[in-house]
């Protein structure tokens, strides 16, 4: 039996158009934006592999990328340059794209789930829970038997445990409500942050504490080809599920009563979104640390471009997040070279003024009107 959602697309901006107020601003078509952003992503990946302290020409960079992609041979005197491009820089650029896409997509879902314009992927307290696991590895050497997988495994496991704790506390007989999710996630964030701060101060070695602080502020310095597939798989699955749920997200963003009238079970959908967002956030944080502001800023910026329809948002926002994160990571490597800035410092430095300017626009509202 068909539901209203099967017959007619629902977007939060439809109500605005039905009113007597001024018409909403014209939006850009994803059919134009997606190819452009796809090309920008490819160029950004090449730039991420080519820009750095070592003086490699673009011809060398492109040659080493081609050799890596096709399995071509390289001469003995090119091994060092090939390692820099293919084993160090390119997986880092790829991981930056994965992280940016995941944070942007989850930011859209969380804002719809809790109906809060200030929500981002970390409002559920998952990132601070992952930080506890990461610090246990960096400071106390936990999970040492897992070798290079210790940090990612501990972070992801701690993120899942934090998810279960938040779910257990926030759940009521009526299911998961937006207010309880926000309040529980915020409370857990401060609780986990207190634990991580205590662990840093309890560290016996200054270098361990520095590594922990770097991770907590976000860093892609540990990127490798081994860390890309798992994070990419989690992000792609999450984006696929959210895209499949785009019509239901449109209804949920309009409120639980409206969603129910359109045949959407808001409680069930919110549980689905909670699991998907927690899993993707945990996978991303496990490989990059806690990178803030991307999941808050990108969804709002993309809404200004394409409107509030989640089908459009989820087609464009992950590409914007991917391109943004690659260039932020490039800046983190070159601004104070040979030293490296935490990525989260730059995302905040760039995001705060951009977000303030966005909010100052009179034509912008959260609902996309």
Mean pLDDT of 330-335: 90
Q: Tell me which residue has tokens 């705060």.
A: 352
**Cβ(299)–Cβ(108) below 8 Å:** yes
pLDDT of residue 368: 47
- Please, are residues 110 and 123 in contact by the beta-carbon 8 Å criterion? yes
Look up residue 367 and give its two tokens.
């609902």
Q: Which residue has the tokens 């496990």?
A: 286
User: Does position 22 have pLDDT exceeding 60, yes or no?
Assistant: no
What percentage of the chain has pLDDT greater than the value 70? 90
The full set of domain ranges for the chain reads 30-360
The pLDDT of residue 361 is 66
Residue 353, exposed/middle/buried by CB under 10 A (0-12, 13-18, 19+)?
exposed
pTM of the predicted protein model? 0.85
First to last CA, the chain: 32
φ, ψ dihedrals at 261, nearest 5°: -65, -25
Q: Is 144 left (phi over 0), alpha (psi -120 to 50) or beta?
A: alpha
User: Residue 215: what pLDDT?
Assistant: 76
**pLDDT, tens digit, 9 for 90 and up, residues 283-301:** 888 888 888 889 888 998 8
Q: For residue 27, is pLDDT > 70?
A: yes
pLDDT tens-place string over residues 91-132: 999 999 999 999 999 999 988 888 877 778 777 788 888 888
164 or 92, greater pLDDT: 92
Q: With bands split at pLDDT 50, 70 and 90, how would you rate the model's confidence at 49?
A: very high
How far, in Å, CA of 264 to CA of 254, rounded? 11
Proportion of the chain above pLDDT 90, given as a percent: 26
**CATH among 1.10.1060.10, 3.20.20.80, 1.10.3470.10, 3.30.470.20 for 30-360:** 1.10.3470.10
Give the range with max mean pLDDT: 27-41, 82-96, 204-218.
Answer: 82-96
| 95 in Cβ contact with 287 (< 8 Å) | yes
Q: What is the 3-state secondary structure (H, E, C) of the chain?
A: CCCHHHHCCCCCHHHHHHCCCCCCCCCCCHHHHHHHHHHHHHHHHHHHHHCCCCCCCHHHHHHHHHHHHHCCCCCHHHHHHHHHHHHHHHHHHHHHHHHHHHHHHHHHHHHHHHCCCCCCCCCCCHHHHHHHHHHHHHHHCCCHHHHHHHHHHHHHHHHHHHHHHHHHHHCECCECCHHHHHHHHHHHHHHHHHHHHHHHHHCCCHHHHHHHHHHHCCCCCCCCCCCHHHHHHHHHHHHHHHHHCHHHHHHHHCCHHHHHHCCCCHHHHHHHHHHHHHHHHHHHHHHHCCCCCHHHHHHHHHHHHHCCCHHHHHHHHHHHHHHHHHHHHHHHHHCCCCCCCCHHHHHHHHHHHHHHHHHHCCCCCCCCC
pLDDT over 50 at 314, yes or no: yes
pLDDT at 212 over 90: no
Apex 276 CA angle, 116 and 146, nearest 5: 125
Query: Which of 266-275, 311-320, 333-342 is the most confident on average?
Result: 311-320
Name the burial class of residue 288, with classes exposed (0-12), middle (13-18) and buried (19+) by CB atoms within 10 angstroms of its CB.
buried
Averaging pLDDT over each range in 1-10, 43-52, 330-339, which range is the top one?
43-52
């Amino acid at each position: 039996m068909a539901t209203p959602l099967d017959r007619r697309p629902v977007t939060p901006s439809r109500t605005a158009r039905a009113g007597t107020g001024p018409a909403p601003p014209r939006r850009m078509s994803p059919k134009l934006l997606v190819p452009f952003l796809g090309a920008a992503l490819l160029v950004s990946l090449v730039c991420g592999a080519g820009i750095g302290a070592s003086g490699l020409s673009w011809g060398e960079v492109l040659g080493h990328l081609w050799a890596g992609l096709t399995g071509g041979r390289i001469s003995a005197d090119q091994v060092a340059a090939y390692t820099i491009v293919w084993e160090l820089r390119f997986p880092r650029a790829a991981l930056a794209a994965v992280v940016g896409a995941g944070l942007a997509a989850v930011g859209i879902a969380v804002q719809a789930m809790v109906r809060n314009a200030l929500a981002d992927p970390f409002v559920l307290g998952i990132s601070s829970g992952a930080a506890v696991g990461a610090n246990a590895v960096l400071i106390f050497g936990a999970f040492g038997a897992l070798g290079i997988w210790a940090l990612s495994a501990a972070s992801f496991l701690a993120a899942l445990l934090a998810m279960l704790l938040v779910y257990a506390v926030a759940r009521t007989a009526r299911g998961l409500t937006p207010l309880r999710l926000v309040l529980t996630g915020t409370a857990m964030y401060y609780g986990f942050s207190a634990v991580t701060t205590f662990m840093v101060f309890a560290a016996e070695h200054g270098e361990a504490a520095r590594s922990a602080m770097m991770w907590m502020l976000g860093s892609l310095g540990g990127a490798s080809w081994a860390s890309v597939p798992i994070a990419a798989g989690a992000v792609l699955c999450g984006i696929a599920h959210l895209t499949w749920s785009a019509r239901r997200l449109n209804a949920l963003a309009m409120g639980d009563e409206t969603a129910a009238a359109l045949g959407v079970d808001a409680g069930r959908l919110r549980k689905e979104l909670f699991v998907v967002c927690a899993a993707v956030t945990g996978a991303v944080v496990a490989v990059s640390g806690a990178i803030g502001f991307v999941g808050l800023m990108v969804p709002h910026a993309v809404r200004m471009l394409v409107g509030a329809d989640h089908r459009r948002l989820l087609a464009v926002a992950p590409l914007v997040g991917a391109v943004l994160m690659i260039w932020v990571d490039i800046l983190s490597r070159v601004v104070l070279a040979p030293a490296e800035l935490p990525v989260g410092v730059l995302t905040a430095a760039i995001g705060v003024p951009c977000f303030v300017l966005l909010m100052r626009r009179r034509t912008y509202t959260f609902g996309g009107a």
